[in-house]
Amino acid sequence: MEDAIAVRGLVVDRGGRRVLHGIDATVPRGSVTGLLGPSGSGKTTLLRAVVGVQEISAGTVTVLGAPAGSPPLRRRVGYLTQAPSVYADLTLRENAHYFAALHGRDRAAADAAVADVGLASAAGQLVGTLSGGQRSRASLACALVGEPELIVLDEPTVGQDPVLRADLWDRFHTLAATGTTLLVSSHVMDEAARCDRLLLIREGRLIADDTPAAIRATAGVDDLDEAFLRLIRATQPDQPGETR
């Protein structure tokens, strides 16, 4: 089956600086793919290119068989921005109803999406009064409410406790099992181990595109954290990598 995302020779310049230097990568359908890399390595930029809001200098990004950002894709792709992007002066329920309406879903679907991220009891609260972690989940609910075929999540579990993180990852896998494709950026290595495939990016270059098992094998260590450190150092031996 054709890949959900195919990136070919993607070059992106931001603020006069080259941020992505010719990325080639693919994301298979019905899987959870992790996008990992140090802070400032270009994860958000790559995700923006996939959802079609990033100006690109060269290369192609094909999503579900169409050029990234083309109008028919907008009903098939869901995007969670890194900073929560929900209306602080609306209640969570009103936010969810609005984003549901944009995707042609009804209010029941919106209320279900809010319950799915564990915020049913806060649905009537103004988003501006939610805690930081709750606000991220509110934003996540609004990205999932359209039940898109491809879900692009920029650090969805930041600020969540371990139990909630585990719940959310279970949900991601449940979605993938029904054929949804997920591309998820993260800083957390125990989340990397939960992905079907991993993309490792460093200073705008892809340095690994494989399963977690294969990456451990290549690096020759069992610990993914350590494997990443080795891969990062191997790509630039004379400079210590900027890791987080």
Ligand X SMILES: Nc1ncnc2c1ncn2[C@@H]1O[C@H](COP(=O)(O)OP(=O)(O)OP(=O)(O)O)[C@@H](O)[C@H]1O
Piece of the chain touching another protein by CB under 8 A; list 90-98, 110-118, 168-176, 188-196: 90-98
Sign of torsion over alpha carbons 200, 154, 189, 213: negative
Between CA 60 and CA 181 the distance in angstroms is 19
- Using the rule CB under 6 A, is 42 a contact of ligand X? yes
Q: Among 31, 33, 44, 136, which residue interacts with Mg ion (rule: CB under 5 A)?
A: 44
Among another protein, Mg ion, ligand X, none, residue 225 binds (CB under 5-8 Å by kind): none
Q: Closest CB to ligand X among 44 and 95? A: 44
Using CB under 8 A as the criterion, what x/- string covers residues 143-182 for binding another protein? x--x------------------------------------
The residue length of the chain stands at 244
**CA 11 vs CA 4, 7, 50, 51, 54: distances in Å:** 20, 10, 13, 15, 11
- Using the rule CB under 6 A, is 39 a contact of ligand X? yes
Among Mg ion, ligand X, another protein, none, residue 37 binds (CB under 5-8 Å by kind): ligand X
Those residues with Cβ within 8 angstroms of residue 15's Cβ, 6 or more apart along the chain or in another chain: none
> What is the number of other CB atoms lying within 10 angstroms of the CB of residue 239?
10
Q: Closest CB to ligand X among 38 and 78? A: 38
Q: What string of DSSP letters covers 86-116?
A: S-TTSBHHHHHHHHHHHTT--HHHHHHHHHH
- With helix as H, strand as E and coil as C, how does 187-234 read? CCHHHHCCCCEEEEEECCEEEEEECHHHHHHHHCCCCHHHHHHHHHHH
Q: 167 is written with which tokens? A: 């719940």
Q: Among 51, 138, 153, 219, which residue interacts with another protein (rule: CB under 8 A)?
A: 51
Piece of the chain touching ligand X by CB under 6 A; list 1-9, 38-46, 167-175, 213-221: 38-46
- Using the rule CB under 6 A, is 15 a contact of ligand X? yes
Residues in contact with another protein by CB under 8 A are 13-15, 51-55, 69, 71, 74-75, 77, 79, 81, 83-91, 94, 97-99, 101-104, 126, 142-143, 146
